[in-house]
Amino acid sequence: MIAVTAFTFNPFQENTYVLHANGQAILIDPGCWNTAEERELETWLSDNALTPVRLVLTHAHIDHVLGCAWANKKYGLTPEVHRADLPLLKAAPRQGELYGVHCEASPEPLHFIDPKDPIEFDGQQLKVLFVPGHSPDTLPSSVKRTAS
Ligand SMILES: [Zn+2]
């Protein structure tokens, strides 16, 4: 059975979720921003004998990506996000400057999330929902076609 644990991190009070089962974990929207928050998540993962195996972003607004560089260095993970959000992910350090929040550049995704492809975890399939209205990856496909 997959369990979910939530953390609230960074000045934006963003929610980071950890899906976990059988010693493995998926980090969703790693918003851990400073050493104390990184240590909190590391310690919790270690105390629960969990190995992060995937790093998934619901979207790439700065509050959701502040911990991507840390997760890459600590666990060797690269973020998975919808392709349309790649410009936002790349712009996160600049977004941080505008908010006065340091954001280390995230590694680029090696794999993009597609709503047609469920996320496999612990022998189960997690359905990916396409939810319009908040970031580029959430625009309806008809809007994307007319905009290009
Ligand atoms: Zn957002």
**C-alpha closest to that of 51 among 17, 77, 15, 32:** 77
Rounded distance from Cα 21 to ligand 1 centre (Å)? 27
Q: What is the pTM of this model?
A: 0.90
Handedness of CA 8, 13, 15, 16 (dihedral sign): negative
Rounded distance from Cα 63 to ligand 1 centre (Å)? 7
CATH level 3 topology of 3-147: Metallo-beta-lactamase; Chain A (3.60.15)
pLDDT in tens, 68-101: 999 999 999 999 999 989 999 999 999 999 999 9
pLDDT in tens, 94-124: 999 999 999 999 999 999 999 999 999 999 9
Listed residues: CB within 5 A of ion ligand 1: 61
Question: Per the structure block, which two tokens stand in for 128?
Answer: 């990916």
Rounded distance from Cα 142 to ligand 1 centre (Å)? 21
Rounded distance from Cα 49 to ligand 1 centre (Å)? 30
Whether residue 135 is predicted with pLDDT greater than 80 in this model: the reply is no
Residues whose CB is less than 8 angstroms from the CB of residue 17 and which lie 6 or more positions away in sequence, other chains included = 4, 5, 6, 7, 27, 28, 29
pLDDT at 112: 95
Instruction: Measure Cα distances from 76 to 67, 112, 135 in Å.
Output: 13, 17, 26
Residue ranges of the alpha helices (H) in 9-67?
Answer: 35-47, 62-65
Residues whose CB is less than 8 angstroms from the CB of residue 49 and which lie 6 or more positions away in sequence, other chains included = 23
In the predicted model, what is the mean pLDDT of the chain?
A: 91
